[in-house]
Amino acid sequence: MFGRLLAHVWLVGSNNKDSLFLQAELIKAGLAKVRYYSKQKRYYGIFKNLQSTAKKNKIGMWNVE
C-alpha cells in the first residue's frame, strides 16, 4: 500500500517478557499523528484514544498556544 511497508513495531526487553508498542508510545508522547488506512485498523481505537489524551493534555505537538 502506498509503495511502502506499513508495520506495527514492538520492542521486546532483554528478559523477553517486557515489551513496548512503539507506535502507541509515539502517539502518547504527542510525537506522531493517527492515520487510518482501510486495511490497517487493528489498533485504531487505541491510537485515537491515546491521541485524544495527548491533545487534551497538550503533550508534544499538541502543546500549541
pLDDT at 39: 67
Cα radius of gyration rounded to whole Å, the chain? 13
Count the residues in the chain: 65
List helix spans (H) across the chain.
Answer: 22-28, 44-56
- Give the pLDDT mean for 23-33: 96
Q: What are phi and psi of 19, to 5 degrees?
A: -140, 160
Entry pTM: 0.82
For residue 51, what are the contacts with CB-CB under 8 A and spacing of at least 6?
Answer: 27, 33, 34
Q: What is the pLDDT of residues 7-18, one digit of tens each?
A: 889 999 888 888
Domain boundaries, the chain: 10-62
Asked if residue 56 has pLDDT above 90, the reply is: yes
